[in-house]
Copies of this chain bind each other. A is one copy, B any other.
Amino acid sequence: MPDKDADKSQNSLFVGTLSKGLRVLRAFDESHTSLSLAELVARTGLDKSAVQRLAYTLHVEGMLDKDPTSRRFRPSHAWLELAYAYYWSDPLIARAMPKLVALSRSIGETVNLAQMSGDHIIYALRLPNQRTQFAASIVGRRLPAIATAAGRVMLATWPQPEWETAVATWPIQAVTPKTVTDREEIRQDVEQAMRNGFTITANQMILNEISVALPIRGVDSRAQAAVQVSVSAHSFDFDRVRREILPALQDTANGILA
């Protein structure tokens, strides 16, 4: 029996053609919003004829739109339909939604639901306010977990050996000049989140933004999700966040318990 994990393409269950098709889909991202055939070839590393066939099939199947004039491809509405199916499949989303909406309305700030996704977090629900940047308003964004308040409070609920390994090994990405990249400092923040049950960060993903997060624990006490609020550092400091945002956030997180 072939080694299932050594090289997935050596496993006889693996369907290479489907894998290549997914590679074409994944060529599109925030910096590649529409792509020509040649660009798809470059970005996927596949042969030109293969890309022609795969892109044609994705287009016929409604996964890609093709501009008749420029002949460039771009994501279709079908990508939003997949998000729709995802939302129904994750019971936490339906439980969290009304509570996040209520919180967002009551405090007037940006509210997010983040989930652990490998060594990153992904934003599953985003309730922006008028200050929120576009990139921070849309679902599906992934950020390195240990660089974010949400990631750190989830890790803080894991067994210590696990979160310490995560802090020591997971990727760090400096997004602002003030992003903390010292792993010891991150470790201390996670440790403090263990004690406090929440964490507050500033300037990590967006300059002049303060972020406060609480974990949403599962039945085993281990969190795979967190609620998180962003506020402007021009209007808040850590003390004001603790007084004015944290109580409502704690009530919200408690009401969503997994």
For A33, A81, A117, A134, which residue has the most chain B Cβ atoms within 10 angstroms?
Answer: A81
Give the contacting residue for A141; candidates B17, B22, B56, B84; CB below 8 A.
B84
Give the contacting residue for A29; candidates B85, B93, B117, B128; CB below 8 A.
B85
Q: A98: CB under 8 A from chain B?
A: yes
A83 to chain B, nearest CB (A): 4
Assess whether B97 is in contact with A134, with CB atoms less than 8 Å apart.
yes
Question: In the complex, what distance in Å separates the CA atom of A61 from the CA atom of B15?
Answer: 10
Question: In the complex, what distance in Å separates the CA atom of A81 from the CA atom of B76?
Answer: 14
Assess whether A61 is in contact with B19, with CB atoms less than 8 Å apart.
yes
Q: How many copies does the complex hold?
A: 2
Q: A188: CB under 8 A from chain B?
A: no
A229 to chain B, nearest CB (A): 16
Interface residues of A in 95-126 (CB under 8 A from B): 97-98, 101-102, 105, 108, 115, 117, 122-124
User: Which residues of A pack against B, CB within 8 Å?
Assistant: 8, 11, 13-15, 17-22, 25, 28-31, 33-34, 52-54, 56-58, 60-61, 63, 74-77, 79-90, 93-94, 97-98, 101-102, 105, 108, 115, 117, 122-124, 127-130, 132, 134, 137-142
